[in-house]
Structure 1
Amino acid sequence: MSGPPPARPFLGGGVGLRVASSLVMAPLALGAVWAGGIIFAAALALCAVLLADEWGRVAEGARGVQDGLRVAGLLLAILLGFGGDWTPAWLCLAATALLGVIAGLLRGGSPAAAFKALAGTAYVGVPVLALLALRLEGVPGLGLMLWLLLVVWAADSAAFAAGRTFGGPKLAPRISPAKTRSGLYGAVAGAALTGALAALAIGLDGSVLAWALGGALTGFGAQVGDLMESAIKRHFGVKDMGSLIPGHGGLFDRLDGLMFVAPPFALALAALGEWQI
């Protein structure tokens, strides 16, 4: 009679490489956020170009007219946003999406191909402009950006740790067979705890309970964003969106959770009026 299966090494299966990549990327991201200004805007612009390239290769099959339009439009929108011209920046993004659709149709593409151009522009552009708007809020923006990054990273790490430790029922086996419900619970709990502690450490206004709740919602949203990207990859029949980051895949594969939660986070803060929770 065979014994129980051997325990899976906690850092096996390429996990060590993922950790090493994260240890390199995290200081770079934090440094750009801390510097703010032109450095942060330039970092966002670089990310936007890389994300647009990944989308074009995976969703559209090759770099073409839509890809060029998307890159140019994203860079112009970031430049306008950095200059404080937010209405023109969002209009530029919308016009870029529309031009991508028109270009796709004029080149004999199907409506589905045109939709890919629209989706790619929105998927990249909306989170990028939301993050730019958030960080340009000076001192409050710095604290809020740091909080958001810490919570999303905590959710990702806690999801991995809980899923690896406890396993159990799959969360969405048809979309992402590796994800478990215990991982989701761990993500929400870890994000809630980090949200409260980070708010205290950074000195953000508002109650600790409110920031813990915000952390829980952000952690849940980050996991939804991860699942959404997994669904996109499954639809296009790829394992990763790219190969830029060892152990992670492409930039999309590393930023999917942050990209999903950044727009609602910025909208919620704007709705509250004074960047307070």
Structure 2
Amino acid sequence: MPIVPDGPADSGDQDDDRGAARPGGPLFRDETPQEPMAAPPPPPPKKRAGRDLRAAIGVGVGLGAVVAASLFIVKAVFIGVIAIAVVIGLWELTSRLDEKKGIKAPLVPLAVGGAAMVVAGYARGAEGAWVAMALTALAVLIWRMTEPPEGYLRDVTAGVFAAFYVPFLATFVAMMLTAHDGPWRVLMFLVLTVVSDTGAYAVGWRFGTHKLAPRISPGKTWEGLAGAVVFAMVAGALCMEFMIDNGVWWQGLLLGLAVAASATLGDLGESMIKRDLGIKDMGTLLPGHGGIMDRLDSLLPTAPVVWLLLVLFVGSG
């Protein structure tokens, strides 16, 4: 291989202007070297929602249309919508428990008992819901006996928890529907929960700096919680005044405050479950939202709160 010299070879008496273009210092004595200009700081990263907002909005509008149509046309159809959501939610929850922790909560008695629980709550009220809950727990205990005893206590405990967490809490929505203005009560419950979540998201996304529970849900802030409270209280006052028979605006303020608290705690509760399981979403059924359980997280614990306060404020109807 030929050796290539580092610089131009000495050319004797010949003039070589190429060498003049290679000085190590300035061309003129009074020229000072210029310091390189510092690069401008990069712009701060834009906040992102973390999900496909178009898909989320489209799915949300579609679900809202289904709920509204079933709610105000035939009550029995809406009960069927609740039962279907409960069964899918139980399937998501038990599937994730099995995949991530090896916990085999029996799905068949949970699904049958969960659907029956919703119907019993609508037909027989709180008493029917409690009886169905007890029978579902008993069915879980017996069903699991068909498998080997290893992990029995773990599996049935998870099964009873799932029965209470999903169908039993959802039964309070069915019990709201039994009032003479039941569809409006259910609609108000849904509106307040959605408004609370929307207020928390909008205010937290724009102004949130102080973390609410960083070890559980890093995205939640105290500013977002304040937004949820304000949005829900305003919506509650309007809904109680114009949607609920004999409702008064100040009752709506209290109801909105309670909804903001229960919805936030419900969201944090499911976030704790998902962190323990090491997952982001419970499922992928709803584009932009995750799974059914990712939409029920704030609704489920809010249902008994709204049901109870409405009974105290305006009666069971």
Question: Which position in structure 2 is the counterpart of 1:175?
Answer: 216
CA contact (8 A) 1:60 1:113 kept: no
Take 1:172 and 1:155, find their aligned partners in 2: how far apart are those partners? 18
Letter in 2 for 1:181: W
1:177 is paired with a residue whose SS is strand
Does 1:19 find its partner at 2:57? yes
SS at match of 2:46: coil
Gaps spanning 5+ residues in structure 1: where? none
* Residue 14 of structure 1, CA deviation: 2.0
Give the direction of change, closer, same or farther, for the CA distance of 1:147–1:79 in structure 2 (3 Å limit): closer
1:260 matched to 2:301? The reply is yes
Equivalent residue number for residue 5 of structure 1: 44
Q: 1:161 to 1:19 in 2, by over 3 A?
A: same
TM-aligned CA distance change 1:36 to 1:185, over 3 Å: farther
AA paired with 1:247?
A: G
Residue 269 of structure 1: how far off its partner (Å)? 3.2
- Which residue number corresponds to residue 194 of structure 2? 153
* Residue in structure 1 matching 2:171, options 112, 115, 129: 129
Match runs of 1:88-107 below 5 Å: 88-104=128-144, 107=147
Q: Is the 8 A contact 1:151 1:191 kept in 2?
A: yes
Aligned residue type for 1:71:
A
2:77 to 39, 50, 55: 39
Q: Does 1:79 align with 2:147?
A: no
SS of the equivalent of 2:120 reads helix
Tell me which of 52, 61, 68 is aligned to 1:30: 68
Check whether the contact 1:97–1:122 (CA below 8 A) recurs between aligned residues: no
SS in 2 for 1:138: coil
The reply to whether residue 196 of structure 1 matches residue 237 of structure 2 is yes
Distance change >3 Å, CA 100–CA 203, structure 1 → 2: closer
RMSD (Å) for aligned C-alpha atoms: 2.4
Helix, strand or coil at the partner of 1:171? strand
**Deviation (angstroms), 1:198:** 1.8
> Is the alpha carbon distance of 1:65 and 1:215 closer, same or farther for their aligned partners in structure 2, counting shifts above 3 Å?
closer
Measured after TM superposition, the shift of residue 65 of structure 1 is 7.1
1:260 Cα deviation after fit? 0.8
* Local SS of the residue matching 1:83: helix
Show the counterpart of 1:67. Answer: 107
What amino acid is the match of 1:66?
P
Q: Separation in 2 of the partners of 1:232 and 1:179?
A: 16
**Conservation of the 8 A alpha-carbon contact between 1:102 and 1:114:** no
3-state DSSP class of the match of 2:284?
coil
Q: Which residue of 1 aligns with 2:27?
A: none
Amino acid in structure 2 at the alignment position of 1:7: K
How far did residue 167 of structure 1 move?
A: 1.8
The aligned amino acid for 1:123 is: Y
Report if the CA contact (8 A) 1:78-1:129 is conserved.
yes
User: Using the alignment, how far apart are the partners of 1:218 and 1:118 within structure 2?
Assistant: 26
Please state which structure has a larger fraction of its residues in helix. 1
* 1:54 corresponds to: 92
Unaligned runs of 5+ in 2: 1-39
1: distance between equivalents of 2:310 and 2:294? 26
For the Cα contact (< 8 Å) 1:101–1:114, is it kept in 2?
A: yes
